[in-house]
Amino acid sequence: MVSYMDNETDPEGSPLLRAMKLEEKLNISKIYLKLEMHNPTRTHKDRIAKAHVKQAKDLGFSGITVGTCGNYGVAIAYFAKKEGIKAVIFVPRQYRNSRVEEMKEYGADVIFVDGAYEEAVLMSKIFAKTMNYYDANPGTQPAVDYEAYSLISKEILEEIEPYAVFVPVGNGSTLAGIYYGFKKYGVMPRIIGVTTSYGNQVLNAFYTGRVEEVKDFVETDFNEPLVSSISFDLQNALEAIKDSNGYIFGFGDDTALKYAKILEMSEGIKALPASTLTLVGLVKFVRKFGVNNENFVLLLTGGI
């Protein structure tokens, strides 16, 4: 297991890379990659983790808790260690890519839950109330999440004005936060969500118009960050897509793995397969809407 304990860099901005080799291979331009794997624990989750841990400390909490499928838990553990407060992380027992050893290296207590991600979040929320810990779970304090994620939008606008931004969707928090950022700074690109076709509430609600818990879903080693029977920022994510004239696409694991390989071979970048669906979404978007030669930004993360 790779450790990032020696990485003392805080998420103060991630690179925006023009992917010219990828443009040539796909015959699409202009592709920019927002490389969130340059954050301390290699994902965009560091942005909200830092904000929640700081707020927890400022409010006088001795500990912070969250339910996670992996990346968010590592980020919370990392910043909790830096700020000297306790982290208690709830993780579904059956998840294979949960990065538990890293959480423990950062001093977090890990509690395994027999159930899906949503059950881990529920147990964490109960724990927060019982033990008077700060609750950093999705949907609990969305304003903190949106403000932290809005910095991604700010950083993009410092370099280019995008036509469309492609964002992985699980709970919908990242997408809603990036939308909030562009709205805040007065520029609104099309916000395009990408997620697993194996079960995500934002995806289902977008296509059906019905807000229903997703009961028929399949969790795999690759789609764990995206699969969601209940998306905790559902309504705000749907509003962001609608208001920006955006869209959302769902894809399978085989497609994610294929494009992860294309990305690595073209640009030498290894990204979490769930996040390389942004590249698949771009290809589908260009074909569906007939748009090309614009500034397209893809959010990419690392992790496992």
1 has a pLDDT exceeding 50? no
* Region 81-91 average pLDDT: 97
Enumerate the domain spans of the chain: 16-44+142-300, 45-135
Residue 8: its pLDDT value, please? Answer: 41
Of 115 and 61, more confident: 61
User: What is the largest distance, in Å, between two alpha-carbon atoms of the chain?
Assistant: 55
Q: Class for domain 16-44+142-300, per CATH?
A: alpha beta
Q: How far is 257 from 272, CA to CA, in rounded Å?
A: 9
Q: Does pLDDT of 7 surpass 90?
A: no
pLDDT of 12 > 70? The answer is no
Interval 179-189: pLDDT, tens: 999 999 999 99
- Residue found under tokens 């930004």: 297
Using CA atoms, how far apart are residues 79 and 8, in angstroms rounded to an integer? 10
d(CA 76, CA 140): 15
Asked if the model's pLDDT at residue 2 lies above 50, the reply is no
Q: Which residue has the higher pLDDT, 92 or 190?
A: 190
Strands 134-135 and 164-168: unpaired
pLDDT tens-digit series, residues 216-268? 767 777 777 787 777 889 999 999 999 999 999 999 999 999 999 999 999 99
Q: Which pLDDT band holds residue 18 (cuts at 50, 70, 90)?
A: very high
pLDDT for 304 equals 54
Query: What is 45-135's CATH topology?
Result: Rossmann fold (3.40.50)
Give the pLDDT confidence score for residue 303 in this predicted structure.
57
pLDDT in tens, 142-177: 999 999 999 999 999 999 999 999 999 998 999 999
**CA 166 centroid distance within chain:** 11
> Over 80: is that where the pLDDT of 215 sits?
no
Average pLDDT (20-36) is 97
In this model, does residue 9 exceed pLDDT 80? no
Confidence (pLDDT) at 230 = 79
Tell me if domain 16-44+142-300 and domain 45-135 are identical in fold. Answer: yes
Q: Output the CA angle 69-72-74, nearest 5 degrees.
A: 95
Q: Is 249 helix (H, G, I), strand (E, B) or coil?
A: strand
**Residue 18, CA distances (Å) to 33, 56, 175, 285 in order:** 6, 37, 21, 19
pLDDT at 6 over 90: no
Over range 72-98, report the average pLDDT: 92
Q: What is the pLDDT of residue 3?
A: 29
- Radius of gyration of the chain measured on its C-alpha atoms: 18
Q: What is the pLDDT of residue 222?
A: 78
Please give the model's pTM, rounded to 2 decimal places.
0.90
- At residue 116, the 3 state secondary structure works out as coil
